[in-house]
Amino acid sequence: LHVVYLEYDTINVYMAQQPFTELRAIHINAMKYPTDMSSCSISNCLYVADDGSGCVWRVNTYNTVDKWLQVTGALSLSVTLEGQVVLLILTEVQGSEDSRTYRGRVEVYNAAGLKLSVIKLPNNIINPYSVIQSANKTFIISHGASWTEQQRVVEVNNEGKIIASFGGSRGSGLGQLNGPMYNVFDSEERVLVADCDNHRVLLLNRQLDTQLRVLINWNNNVVPWSLCYDNETAQLMVGVYGKSNTV
C-alpha cells in the first residue's frame, strides 16, 4: 500500500493487510505537489502525478525513480487493465483558490509515454476531479466543488459526449452529491464515489442511474478524499483529508 500527501516528497509504504506494517519509504527529492497515483501490474511500476513539478514520476522495481512524463496540470491519474495511463488535465483555470473554477481534458498514454488520445470535456463539466476508464473505453469522471451547483459523476465517450450521469444539484439526499472527489471501480465495475462534503462513500451501479447503498457514512469530522479498491481482497482503502492515515 502506497500513500502520498500533498506538498510532501515522500511515498509512505505499508503492507496491504492488517496490521499494515510500515515499510521503507520512497523519497523523490524533486516531488513538490503529488495529486494522485496508481500502480501498473503490467509494467510493475507506480505512477505519481505531480502538479507542483509539472510531471508524472515513475517508480520502478527496487524503487528506482524517473521523470516519466513532462505535463502541466495533471490532477488525476489512473491506469487501465492494458497498462495505459489516463490523466485528467486542468484547463481554463479561473478565480482564487477558494472559488476556483476550471474545465478539463483527458489524455491517454502508453507505457512508453506516447500520447494515444486526447478527449476535451464539455464545458458543463465544471471542476472535474477524478477520471477512470471503463472496460468499454469510456471515462467515468467526478466533478463539482462546494461553490459550484452541479455535483455529478458522469460517463463520457471518446468524443467527449456525456452518455450517462448521476447527481445534479448539490445536496445530501438520495441521488445527490456534495463534492464528489474521487471514484474507482469495484470488481464488478460498479462505481465507488468519495462524496467528500457529505462525509460518505457511495456505491453506484455501472449505468450510473441507481445509488445502490451508502457504503460508509461518517460524522462531520471525517472527509473522504481518495479511494483505492483491491480486486484480489475486495478491500477498499479510503484516504481521509487532514488525517495522517487511511481508513
Q: Which amino acid is at 78?
A: S
Assess whether pLDDT exceeds 80 at residue 221.
no
Tell me the mean pLDDT in the region 221-230.
90
Please give the pLDDT value at position 9: 92
Per-residue pLDDT tens digits for 118-127 = 999 999 999 9
Q: Distance between CA 2 and CA 16 in Å, rounded?
A: 9
Which residues make Cβ contacts (< 8 Å) with residue 178, sequence separation at least 6? 144, 146, 151, 170, 171, 172, 195, 196, 197, 198
Mean pLDDT for the stretch of residues 149-169: 96
**Main-chain dihedrals φ then ψ at residue 190, nearest 5 degrees:** -75, 160
Q: What is the pLDDT of residues 80-106, one digit of tens each?
A: 999 999 999 999 989 887 788 999 999
Q: What is the per-residue pLDDT for 146?
A: 82
Q: Are the C-beta atoms of 235 and 244 separated by less than 8 Å?
A: no
- State yes or no: pLDDT of 247 exceeds 60: no
Q: Assess whether pLDDT exceeds 90 at residue 8.
A: no
Q: Enumerate residues 6+ apart whose C-beta is below 8 A from 8.
A: 31, 34
Alpha carbon separation from 52 to 79, 84, 168 (Å, rounded): 21, 23, 31
Stated pTM of the model: 0.93
Residue 144 has pLDDT above 90, yes or no: yes
Residue 22's pLDDT band (cuts 50, 70, 90): very high
pLDDT at 199: 94
Query: For the segment 39-61, what is each residue's pLDDT rounded down to a tens digit?
Result: 999 999 999 999 999 999 999 98
Q: What is the pLDDT of residues 169-208, one digit of tens each?
A: 999 999 999 999 999 999 999 999 999 999 999 999 999 9
Contact present, 235 and 218 (Cβ < 8 Å): no
User: What is the radius of gyration, based on Cα positions, of the chain?
Assistant: 17
Cα 50 from Cα 9, distance rounded (Å): 10
pLDDT band at 232 (very low <50, low <70, confident <90, very high): confident
pLDDT band for position 241 (cuts 50, 70, 90): confident
The mean pLDDT value for 214-226 works out to 87
| Alpha carbon of residue 111 to chain centroid | 19
- Asked if residue 244 has pLDDT above 60, the reply is no
Mean pLDDT of the chain: 93
pLDDT of residue 117: 97
pLDDT exceeds cutoff 70 at 243? no
Report the b/e string of 79-117 with b at 16+ CB within 10 A: bbeeebbbbbbbeeeeeeeeeeebbbbbbbbebeeeeee
Sign of the alpha-carbon dihedral angle for 133, 46, 60, 41: negative
Our CA dihedral for 183, 187, 190, 195, rounded to 10 degrees, sits at -30
